[in-house]
Amino acid sequence: MSYARVDEEKDVIFFVTPDQPAAAKTEASAGSAPAAADTAGQAQQAYNEETGEINWDCPCLGPMTQPPCGDVFKEAFSCFVYSKEEPKGMDCVEQFRAMQSCFREHPEIYGDDEDDDDARDGTDAASRK
């Protein structure tokens, strides 16, 4: 027997037993969760596959859609979402370069790229120069 559990209207967890037929597993993952979870999940996604629309107000995008680089971000993100190229987004390289350039022009808003890399690998920029 399979069932779905919703934690804090954020995550949907499907429990499926190994002896369950493949059709039941597909059915469980296709939407036996409560409608509230579906609604909450859609509200938190930037792209709705059913409607083909981008939700620019999604909190998951944070301040990325706001000035000064919001328009450049929207162009790059839209290109990626609607890209038909394989690997996905290969036709969007120029848009992402423009976005990255804008981010670098405004480190006070988007952070300093080198500082982020240094924090992840445990080194500092001075030790590499």
Comparing CA positions, the residue from 3, 22, 21 lying closest to residue 13 is: 3
Say whether both 123 and 65 belong to one domain: yes
Could you report the per-residue pLDDT of 56-95, keeping only the tens digit for each? 999 999 889 999 999 999 999 999 999 999 999 999 999 9
Peptide bond into 59 cis (omega under 30): no
Peptide bond into 87 cis (omega under 30): yes
Say whether both 64 and 114 belong to one domain: yes
Say whether both 36 and 87 belong to one domain: no
- Expressed as residue numbers, the domain containing 105 is 60-128
Residues 39 and 31: their CA atoms lie apart, in Å, by: 12
Say whether both 79 and 120 belong to one domain: yes
Say whether both 37 and 79 belong to one domain: no
Is 12 within 8 Å of 4 (Cβ atoms)?
A: yes
Output the pTM of the full model. 0.56
Could you report the per-residue pLDDT of 23-65, keeping only the tens digit for each? 444 444 444 444 444 444 444 799 999 999 999 999 999 889 9
Say whether both 116 and 73 belong to one domain: yes
Say whether both 35 and 65 belong to one domain: no
Say whether both 124 and 66 belong to one domain: yes
**Inside any domain, residue 109:** yes
Say whether both 37 and 87 belong to one domain: no
What is the total count of domains within the chain?
Answer: 2
Chain Cα centroid distance, residue 120: 20
**Inside any domain, residue 48:** no
